[in-house]
Amino acid sequence: MTTAQSNTERDRRLVTDGGGYAEELRANRAEKDEFFADHPQSPIPPEKREEFDGLAYFDPDPEYRVEATVTVIDDPEEVEMETSDGRQITYRRPFRFEFEIDGETYELSGYRRDDDGPIFVPFRDKTTGQQSYKDGRYMELEHEDEPTDGTTIDIDFNLAYSPFCAYSETFSCPLPPEENWLDTTISAGERAPPLE
Give 5-17 pLDDT, tens digit per residue: 333 333 334 344 4
**In this structure, how many other beta carbons lie within 10 angstroms of the beta carbon of residue 148?**
9
- Predicted local confidence at residue 196, as pLDDT: 54
Mean of pLDDT over the chain: 89
**In this structure, how many other beta carbons lie within 10 angstroms of the beta carbon of residue 116?**
6
Convert the pLDDT of each residue in 126-138 to its tens digit.
Answer: 999 999 999 999 9
93: Cα within 13 Å, side-chain hemisphere:
15
- Predicted local confidence at residue 116, as pLDDT: 77
Cα distance between residue 185 and residue 188, in whole Å: 9
Give mean pLDDT, residues 84-105.
96
Cα distance between residue 35 and residue 90, in whole Å: 29
State the burial class of residue 152 (Cβ atoms within 10 Å of its Cβ: 0-12, 13-18, 19+).
Answer: middle
Domain ranges, ordered by start, for the chain: 3-180
Higher pLDDT, 162 or 145: 162
Q: What is the pTM of this model?
A: 0.87
Which has the closest alpha carbon to 101: 62, 57, 147? 62
- Predicted local confidence at residue 19, as pLDDT: 55
